[in-house]
Amino acid sequence: MSARSKARKRALDLLYGADLRGLALDDAIATEAARALANPQRASSWGYARDIAQGVADHIDEIDTLISTYAQGWTIQRMPAVDRALLRMGIWEIVFNPEVPDPVAIAEAVGLATELSTEESSGFVNGLLARIAETKAQ
Protein backbone atom coordinates (compact mmCIF):
# COMPACT_ATOMS: atom_id res chain seq x y z
CA MET A 1 0.00 0.00 0.00
CA SER A 2 1.41 3.40 -0.98
CA ALA A 3 2.09 6.12 1.57
CA ARG A 4 -0.74 8.23 0.17
CA SER A 5 -3.14 5.26 0.33
CA LYS A 6 -2.24 4.76 4.01
CA ALA A 7 -2.75 8.46 4.62
CA ARG A 8 -6.16 8.35 2.92
CA LYS A 9 -7.19 5.42 5.13
CA ARG A 10 -6.03 7.32 8.18
CA ALA A 11 -7.90 10.46 7.09
CA LEU A 12 -11.00 8.33 6.50
CA ASP A 13 -10.72 6.92 10.03
CA LEU A 14 -10.46 10.44 11.42
CA LEU A 15 -13.37 11.85 9.38
CA TYR A 16 -15.56 8.82 10.10
CA GLY A 17 -14.76 8.82 13.82
CA ALA A 18 -15.42 12.54 14.21
CA ASP A 19 -18.72 12.19 12.36
CA LEU A 20 -19.91 9.26 14.49
CA ARG A 21 -18.92 10.93 17.75
CA GLY A 22 -20.26 14.34 16.73
CA LEU A 23 -16.82 15.91 17.25
CA ALA A 24 -15.65 19.07 15.54
CA LEU A 25 -13.11 18.17 12.87
CA ASP A 26 -10.58 20.63 14.26
CA ASP A 27 -10.73 18.87 17.64
CA ALA A 28 -10.34 15.43 16.04
CA ILE A 29 -7.39 16.71 13.99
CA ALA A 30 -5.70 18.11 17.10
CA THR A 31 -6.14 14.81 18.94
CA GLU A 32 -4.69 12.83 16.03
CA ALA A 33 -1.79 15.28 15.67
CA ALA A 34 -0.87 14.67 19.31
CA ARG A 35 -0.96 10.91 18.69
CA ALA A 36 1.32 11.30 15.67
CA LEU A 37 3.84 13.27 17.75
CA ALA A 38 3.78 10.67 20.52
CA ASN A 39 4.17 7.69 18.18
CA PRO A 40 6.81 7.94 15.43
CA GLN A 41 5.34 4.98 13.49
CA ARG A 42 2.09 6.90 13.13
CA ALA A 43 3.89 10.08 12.06
CA SER A 44 4.82 8.76 8.61
CA SER A 45 1.26 8.72 7.28
CA TRP A 46 0.08 11.73 9.23
CA GLY A 47 1.21 14.55 6.91
CA TYR A 48 -1.13 13.86 4.00
CA ALA A 49 -3.88 12.55 6.29
CA ARG A 50 -3.75 15.90 8.10
CA ASP A 51 -3.88 17.75 4.76
CA ILE A 52 -7.03 15.83 3.78
CA ALA A 53 -8.76 16.23 7.13
CA GLN A 54 -7.89 19.93 7.40
CA GLY A 55 -8.93 20.48 3.79
CA VAL A 56 -12.29 18.87 4.48
CA ALA A 57 -12.68 20.95 7.65
CA ASP A 58 -11.82 24.15 5.77
CA HIS A 59 -14.28 23.45 2.93
CA ILE A 60 -16.98 21.35 4.65
CA ASP A 61 -19.87 23.61 3.63
CA GLU A 62 -18.88 23.61 -0.05
CA ILE A 63 -18.19 19.87 0.01
CA ASP A 64 -21.52 19.04 1.65
CA THR A 65 -23.33 21.27 -0.84
CA LEU A 66 -21.75 19.27 -3.68
CA ILE A 67 -22.77 16.00 -2.03
CA SER A 68 -26.35 17.25 -1.61
CA THR A 69 -26.44 18.47 -5.20
CA TYR A 70 -25.13 15.28 -6.82
CA ALA A 71 -26.41 12.53 -4.49
CA GLN A 72 -29.55 11.72 -6.42
CA GLY A 73 -32.19 10.31 -4.12
CA TRP A 74 -29.99 10.47 -1.01
CA THR A 75 -29.67 13.07 1.71
CA ILE A 76 -26.34 13.39 3.48
CA GLN A 77 -27.98 12.22 6.71
CA ARG A 78 -29.36 9.02 5.08
CA MET A 79 -26.09 7.75 3.63
CA PRO A 80 -23.78 5.53 5.66
CA ALA A 81 -21.26 7.53 7.70
CA VAL A 82 -18.34 5.82 5.98
CA ASP A 83 -19.71 6.83 2.56
CA ARG A 84 -20.16 10.39 3.76
CA ALA A 85 -16.53 10.48 4.94
CA LEU A 86 -15.29 8.92 1.68
CA LEU A 87 -17.22 11.42 -0.42
CA ARG A 88 -15.91 14.35 1.61
CA MET A 89 -12.37 13.10 1.22
CA GLY A 90 -12.76 12.38 -2.50
CA ILE A 91 -14.39 15.72 -3.22
CA TRP A 92 -11.62 17.56 -1.40
CA GLU A 93 -9.02 15.79 -3.54
CA ILE A 94 -10.93 16.43 -6.78
CA VAL A 95 -11.96 20.03 -6.19
CA PHE A 96 -9.35 21.47 -3.83
CA ASN A 97 -6.14 19.47 -4.35
CA PRO A 98 -4.70 19.94 -7.85
CA GLU A 99 -1.79 17.60 -7.04
CA VAL A 100 -4.03 14.52 -7.22
CA PRO A 101 -5.42 13.49 -10.62
CA ASP A 102 -9.20 13.05 -10.52
CA PRO A 103 -9.08 9.38 -11.61
CA VAL A 104 -6.70 8.61 -8.73
CA ALA A 105 -8.93 10.34 -6.17
CA ILE A 106 -11.96 8.46 -7.50
CA ALA A 107 -10.20 5.08 -7.62
CA GLU A 108 -8.88 5.43 -4.08
CA ALA A 109 -12.31 6.38 -2.70
CA VAL A 110 -14.01 3.54 -4.61
CA GLY A 111 -11.40 1.07 -3.36
CA LEU A 112 -12.02 2.08 0.23
CA ALA A 113 -15.79 1.92 -0.30
CA THR A 114 -15.44 -1.61 -1.70
CA GLU A 115 -13.34 -2.64 1.28
CA LEU A 116 -15.18 -0.88 4.09
CA SER A 117 -18.78 -0.10 3.18
CA THR A 118 -21.91 -1.67 1.73
CA GLU A 119 -22.18 -3.65 -1.48
CA GLU A 120 -23.74 -0.69 -3.30
CA SER A 121 -21.38 1.93 -1.92
CA SER A 122 -18.58 1.58 -4.45
CA GLY A 123 -20.93 2.29 -7.36
CA PHE A 124 -22.56 5.18 -5.51
CA VAL A 125 -19.20 6.76 -4.58
CA ASN A 126 -17.85 6.22 -8.09
CA GLY A 127 -20.88 7.80 -9.76
CA LEU A 128 -21.06 10.83 -7.50
CA LEU A 129 -17.34 11.60 -7.64
CA ALA A 130 -17.24 11.08 -11.42
CA ARG A 131 -20.10 13.57 -11.88
CA ILE A 132 -18.29 16.14 -9.76
CA ALA A 133 -15.04 15.60 -11.67
CA GLU A 134 -16.90 16.00 -15.00
CA THR A 135 -18.55 19.20 -13.80
CA LYS A 136 -15.20 20.58 -12.64
CA ALA A 137 -13.68 19.89 -16.05
CA GLN A 138 -16.35 21.92 -17.85
Of the candidate ranges 39-43, 73-77, 126-130, the one whose mean pLDDT is the lowest: 39-43
Q: Which residues contact 47 (CB under 8 A, 6 or more apart)?
A: 7
Q: Residue 26 and residue 23: Cα distance in Å, rounded?
A: 8
- What does the pLDDT look like over 65-104, one tens digit per residue? 999 999 988 889 999 999 999 999 999 999 999 999 999 9
Fold of 3-137: N-utilizing Substance Protein B Homolog; Chain A (1.10.940)
Q: pTM of the predicted model, to two decimals? A: 0.94
Mean pLDDT, rounded, of the chain: 93
Measured CA to CA, the distance from residue 116 to residue 97 in angstroms comes to 24
Contacts of 66 (CB under 8 A, 6+ apart): 91, 95, 132
